[in-house]
């Protein structure tokens, strides 16, 4: 009876650990899904922003505000001491692959009971006889 009870308790404990692991995995999947959704939203917002700042729309908005395109005769050139022309635009770098640095989780999160036992039995790598 006690053996059965011990087995059931061990089984229950194992199930509990696995259930928590599954919940963590579920949470990870949800976070990945949320991350993908947020990236999509960022891209969509970039596109919306770009559409709103296109030259023809900016020109129309400027005209609504009472501005007119400058013409040759409207312009006076003056020397501004120390004036530096704006630096050339540099686009943001695209995201690099995270496959090498972040592609897998630490064994602390993924090691199973069997893996742990195997690690205990297997001689340590590099250990001297």
Partner 1 sequence: MMNPSLPYRRVYMLLMVMIAAVVAMIVQLIRVQFGPYAPVFATWVEAAEETRDEVEPARGLIYDRDGDLMATNVSMYYLEVEVFQLTEVSRKQIAAVLSRALVLPYEDLYAQLNRDWGSLGQYRIRLTRMVGDGERWPITVDQVAAEMLKGFLLDPEAPDLSGLKLVPAPSREYPAGSLAGHVLGFVNQEGKGFFGVEGFYDGWLAGKPMTIERGYIPLQARLEPDPPAGVNLILTLDMDIQQMAEQALAEALESTGAEAGQILIMDPRNGEMLAMAIAPPLDPNNYEPWLDEQGLELEELEEAEEPVINPAVGGQFEPGSTFKVLTMAAALDADLVEPGTEFIDTGVIEVGGVRIRNWNGGAWGPQTMVGCMKHSLNVCLAWLASEKLGPSTFYDYLTAFGIGRATGIDLAGEVGGQLRTPRHPEWTEADLGTNAFGQGVSVTPVQLLAAVGAVANEGVMLQPHVVRAVVGPEGAYWPNPTVLGRPISAETARTLTGMLAESLEGETHFAHVNGYRLAGKTGTAQIPTEKGYDERWTIASFVGWGPVDDPRFIVLVRLDKPETSPWGSVVAAPVFQEVVERLVTMLEIPPDAVRAQLAAQGVQAQVEQQ
User: In the complex with partner 1, which residue's Cβ is closer, 64 or 126?
Assistant: 64
Q: In angstroms, rounded to a whole number, what is the distance separating the alpha carbons of residues 55 and 60?
A: 8
Q: Considering the rule CB under 8 A, would residue 107 count as an interface residue with partner 1?
A: no
Q: Considering the rule CB under 8 A, would residue 13 count as an interface residue with partner 1?
A: no
User: In the complex with partner 1, which residue's Cβ is closer, 46 or 119?
Assistant: 46
Residues 6+ apart with CB under 8 A from 119: 111
Instruction: Determine the interface stretch with partner 1 among 49-57, 60-68, 120-128 (rule: CB under 8 A).
Output: 49-57
Q: Are 51 and 57 in contact (CB under 8 A)?
A: yes
Name which of 18, 26, 22, 25 is nearest 112 in CA terms: 18
Sign of the dihedral defined by the CA atoms of residues 23, 28, 33, 34, in that order = positive
Q: Considering the rule CB under 8 A, would residue 17 count as an interface residue with partner 1?
A: no
Question: What's the closest the beta carbon of residue 128 comes to partner 1, in angstroms?
Answer: 34
Q: In angstroms, rounded to a whole number, what is the distance separating the alpha carbons of residues 63 and 67?
A: 5
Question: Which residues contact partner 1 by CB under 8 A?
Answer: 1, 4-5, 8, 12, 18, 21-26, 28-29, 32, 36-37, 39-40, 43-44, 46-47, 49-51, 53-56, 59, 69-72, 75-80, 83-85, 88-99, 102-105, 110
């Amino acid at each position: 009876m006690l053996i059965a009870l011990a087995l059931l308790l061990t089984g229950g404990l194992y199930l509990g650990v696995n259930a928590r692991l599954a919940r963590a995995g579920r949470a990870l999947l949800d976070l990945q899904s949320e991350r993908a959704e947020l990236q999509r939203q960022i891209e969509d917002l970039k596109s919306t922003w770009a559409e709103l700042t296109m030259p023809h729309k900016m020109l129309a908005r400027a005209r609504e505000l009472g501005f007119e395109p400058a013409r040759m005769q409207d312009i006076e050139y003056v020397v501004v001491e120390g004036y530096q022309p704006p630096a050339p635009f540099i686009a943001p770098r695209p995201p690099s692959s995270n496959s090498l640095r972040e592609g897998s989780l630490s064994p602390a999160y993924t090691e199973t009971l069997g893996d742990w036992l195997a690690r205990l039995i297997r001689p340590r790598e590099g250990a001297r006889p």
